[in-house]
Structure 1
Amino acid sequence: MIPSRETQTSLLLILMLYFTASSDADLRLMVRVGDEVALACRSDFYIRGGCETITWLFTSTNPTVKLFETGQIHQEAAAKSDRLSVTADCSLVIKKVSLEDVGLYTCRKQGSDFNISLSVIHILQYLHLKARVGDEVTLPCENINHDCKTITWLFTSKSQTVKLFETGKIHQDAAAKSDRLSLTADCSLVIKKVSLEDAGIYACRQFINGQPGSTGSVFDSQSW
């Protein structure tokens, strides 16, 4: 009998700045600086008339601006028009994502809105860590005040971001693997029985009075 190879998951610890957008959205996405991202509008919006009747809006610290209207890039978005485009299904594509792109994106059709919150991470330094499938790993939450009720752990895989912990307890988004997740007294995230599905980006974020506060650790795990 030939012994089977142990499957390993490579955990890549990344020290980075994490710039978060509003959490009041239908969909939350997190991407890296320099990435290209497609923000998909609701499919029924497209079916009922095409992109000519779609408006894309962007809200950040500045007043809301129009990015796309009546089938073309709006003049208010002229400064970054070379990085913006809209696909046949009305998705908004942003090339070479930068920190200025953090914010709330709204796809609007005849008074109906679909909101997407886009957060951006800026990589500062890489550190490597390896774990075998089945191991237990602890991801520390650093540079924050250790009140776990103010801590949110986020997990991003395939451009989809879900909450793992919020207000000190497992979030409903993580219900399927709640038996493998826990928090320590210092708000570190513990993952038991690591599997390949755990590959992705983990971000520790502190919210004070509902507003984003300090950024803790962010981990990018890649399976191989």
Structure 2
Amino acid sequence: MVEFRRIQMLFLILELQFSAAITGQDSSFTVRDGDEVTLSCENVTTDQDKCNSTTWLFSGSGSTATVALIKFGQIGEKAKAKSDRLSVTANCSLVIKKVTVEDAGRYFCRQFKSGQQQGQDSQVYLSVVTMTEHKDTDKVMLSCSVSTYDACRHTVKLLYQGNNVDKDNKDLKTSQSTCSAAVSFLTSHDIYTSNYKFLKCKVTDLISGKVQLCNFSPQLSCEKPGVAETTTEPETTTSTTQEDCSALSYIMLVMRVAELLLITVITVLLFRARGNQRPPDDNIDLNSVRSRTAKCSGPAASQEQNDEDDGAVNYENFGEPSTSVRLH
């Protein structure tokens, strides 16, 4: 029982460490192109004068090179071209105005003291949603796509009046691919005549679980994560679908498999350790029983025990090794 409790504690510690390794100081944001976003710095230190100890680095999609956007609180030399879109807040968060597809990538907030880096970087992943329209005579094609840093971590679905765009709409042609979705229809369709009022793009971050509903209408932008699920689209506020949680389920499956393997290894080691120990001597238990019997039965039982003890001594004299063990 003691060993089992120790194993349980070990598993709990491992799971906490695994969760910390996944979450750590990383965060993610998904915004529509043209919007503004504020990337928070989770490792910011105190006693800074206008973020003079903070540096923001950027690595674009498919690139391993990093660019210093903000260096010790000031716009970096290589970021001068977009200096009008960059700024830092009082708590050293990075503000990006009029977000473009090129802004999608990984951002690092790094702290310095006396020229030396302090602690680990705070990482932020920024994904950008792009809505496009292509018109050809009497046909229109609308597409919604997400630009990310590396592998796609989103699902993209088109909704018409709160339902999947191809549900009960035979006159709509849809296409689906990784991190994008598209629909085409005639200009006589209600979608077009209503200025795309009822058509939305549902973008779900598989890691954070955040959901955004982006409007194709030029006058509207993406709704804030979580708000759309409880207000404007009640029919889509059910529990997260299996597809949306596939990545999280995979992570939990890996954790459980590792846990089972660890249980098996520790159990085998415990059994081997017990197998190397000498088994308890049966004579000890037998003598103990005899002793208790003697106390209850009186002189007759004591005499019988002495006779048997004499017999045990004779066996020992014949050369059999003694196996009796004294327990302290």
Please tell me whether residue 143 in structure 1 is matched to residue 202 in structure 2: no
**How far 1:180 moved relative to its partner?**
2.8
Query: Percent sequence identity over matched residues?
Result: 37
- From 147, 160, 163, give the equivalent of 1:129: 160
Deviations 1:41-64 (Å, cap 9, x if unpaired)? 12x514253511000000122620
Aligned residues: 138
Structure 1 CA distance for aligned equivalents of residues 79 and 129 of structure 2: 22
| 1:70 corresponds to which of 72, 87, 91 | 72
1:86 deviation in Å? 0.7
How far apart, CA to CA, are the structure 2 residues paired with 1:83 and 1:75? Answer: 14
Given the superposition, is the C-alpha separation of residues 130 and 91 from structure 1 closer, same or farther in structure 2, using an over 3 Å criterion?
A: same
User: Is 1:115 matched up with 2:123?
Assistant: yes
Aligned to 2:36: 36
Superposition deviation, residue 156 in structure 1: 3.1
- Can you list the C-alpha shifts for 1:1-32, whole angstroms capped at 9, x where unaligned? xxxxxxxxxxxxxxxxxxxxxx9970011111
Alpha-carbon distance in 2 for matches of 1:94, 1:118: 11
**Alpha carbons 2:159, 2:165 under 8 Å: kept:** no
Summarize the Cα distance change of 1:49–1:75 in structure 2 as closer, same or farther, 3 Å threshold: same
Separation (CA, whole Å) in 2 of partners of 1:54 and 1:139: 46
1:93 alignment partner, one of 64, 87, 95 = 95
Note the 1:198-217 alignment, pairs <5 A. none
CA RMSD of aligned residues (A): 3.8
Structure 2 counterpart of 1:109, which letter? Answer: Q
TM-score of the two chains, using structure 1 as the length reference: 0.50
Deviation string 1:108-138 (CA, Å, 9 cap, x unpaired) is: 003331000001110123876335xxxxx66
On the 8 A contact 2:44/2:91 being kept in 1, the answer is no
Secondary structure at the residue paired with 1:115? strand
- CA contact 2:55–2:72 (8 Å) conserved in 1: yes
Q: Unaligned regions of 5+ residues in structure 1, if any?
A: 1-22, 132-136, 145-151, 162-178, 191-203, 206-224
- CA drift of 1:160 comes to 6.0
Aligned equivalents of 1:156, 1:138: Cα separation in 2: 15
From the superposition, tell whether residues 84 and 128 of structure 1 become closer, same or farther in structure 2 (CA, over 3 Å). Answer: same
Matched, 1:156 2:211: yes
> Which 5+ residue runs of structure 2 have no aligned equivalent?
1-22, 133-141, 144-157, 167-174, 179-204, 213-222, 227-237, 248-328
2:105 and 2:25 map into 1 onto residues whose CA distance is: 10
Structure 1 or 2: larger strand share?
1
User: Matches of 2:74 and 2:47 in 1, distance apart?
Assistant: 18
1:99 maps to a residue whose letter is: V
Distance 1:160 1:28, change over 3 A: farther
| Contact kept in structure 1, 2:88 and 2:95, CA below 8 Å | yes
If each structure's helix is expressed as a fraction of its own residues, which one has the higher value? 2
Pair member with larger Rg = 2
The structure showing larger relative contact order (alpha-carbon pairs under 8 Å, at least 6 residues apart) is 1
Contact 1:40 1:90 in 2 (8 A): yes
Residue 181 of structure 1 aligns with which residue? 240
